[in-house]
Amino acid sequence: MENEMKTFEEIKHIDEYGHEYWFARELQVVLGYIKWDKFLHVIDKAKEACKNSNNAIDDYFLQVGKIVKTGISAKEIIDFRLSRYACYLIVQNSNPNKEIVALGQTYFAIQTRKQELTEQEYNSLTENEKRFYQRDLTKKGNYSLNQTARNAGVKNFDKFHNSGYKGLYNGETANDIAKRKGLRYREDILDNMGSDELIVNLFRISQTEQKLRNDNVQTENKANETHYEMGRDIREFIQKKGGRMPEEMPTPDKSLKLLEKEKSNKLISK
């Protein structure tokens, strides 16, 4: 088992921001899929699972092109740059009869637990590295919050998340925040936050989930109310301590998605 686990580790890549990622073509080989078309079907199922969990597919499955040599010529093939979460979904949807699939499920579950940075390590990061780190935590936090909210009876997740934003941002919805930041239609507001603003939202997310669980919330209206109150309470705490309101925090020049694309373009050009 240890040798197989090293196989997943050996195909792991690290970008300039210290983030781990995997290429689908390499994962295909490790999981024992001979034909790309069959593995692409597994990727599609993983994408659907990602979408059903209210996550943006492009945040986890970034399509990239690769140039490969075929004899004396070369051609471009499709590949995907995968996050750890994407890899986990892929192995979850792979052939369960393959022993390596079970090992993969264990590997990616264990590795997810190893991502917490020490305070010293975090402080040594650049602002963009901190943004990537905090954004990754908010994605995981929102995924967990969505599961808890669903169990609490939430069906309209846009309304549920806007309830939290309204409490924290003095009545602003996600669309209001996007307009204030000057973002394009449907551009992710969390991808356009600095590390401090992301931390405030991560606190809102984690505390709301805890409150929903502790109070055993069972209705959608109560869940929305809980999210709003938690956002409002965090805002009042910031005001009491004389901190900067989240809507006053600066919007970075580049979104995290743009930074990711720039990095991918560099990889393709190499």
The pair of structure tokens assigned to 92 is: 């979850």
Which pLDDT band, with edges at 50, 70 and 90, does 5 fall under? very low
* Domain segments of the chain as ranges: 2-115, 119-261
Given this model, what pLDDT does residue 3 score?
A: 42
In the chain, where does DSSP find H-type helix?
2-10, 24-30, 36-52, 84-92, 99-112, 119-123, 127-151, 157-168, 174-181, 195-214, 220-240, 256-269
| Residue linked to tokens 């004389």 | 242
CA dist 238 to 53, 137, 203, 228, Å? 31, 21, 12, 16
Given this model, what pLDDT does residue 113 score?
A: 46
Given this model, what pLDDT does residue 101 score?
A: 74
How far apart are alpha carbons 85 and 88 in whole angstroms?
A: 5
Given this model, what pLDDT does residue 210 score?
A: 84
How far apart are alpha carbons 180 and 57 in whole angstroms?
A: 25
SS3 242: coil
CA dist 126 to 57, 85, 159, 201, 238, Å? 26, 24, 34, 20, 24
* pLDDT over 90 at 80, yes or no: yes
Higher pLDDT, 255 or 103: 255
What's the chain's average pLDDT?
A: 85
How far apart are alpha carbons 224 and 212 in whole angstroms?
A: 10
Which pLDDT band, with edges at 50, 70 and 90, does 141 fall under? confident
* pLDDT over 70 at 109, yes or no: no
Given this model, what pLDDT does residue 2 score?
A: 40
Tell me the per-residue pLDDT of 144-168, one tens digit each, with 9 for 90 and over: 899 999 999 999 999 999 999 999 9
Residue 212 and residue 148 in contact, taking contact as beta carbons nearer than 8 Å: yes
Given this model, what pLDDT does residue 140 score?
A: 85
Dihedrals φ, ψ of 245, to 5°? -65, 145
Angle (CA) 1-114-203 rounded to 5° is 150
Which pLDDT band, with edges at 50, 70 and 90, does 107 fall under? low
Tell me the per-residue pLDDT of 13-32, one tens digit each, with 9 for 90 and over: 887 767 788 999 999 998 88
Percentage of residues of the chain with pLDDT beyond 70: 85
Higher pLDDT, 180 or 7: 180
CA dist 186 to 87, 145, 257, 265, Å? 26, 21, 13, 23
How far apart are alpha carbons 100 and 49 in whole angstroms?
A: 21
* pLDDT over 90 at 105, yes or no: no
Given this model, what pLDDT does residue 72 score?
A: 66
Mean pLDDT score, 176-185:
95
Given this model, what pLDDT does residue 84 score?
A: 83
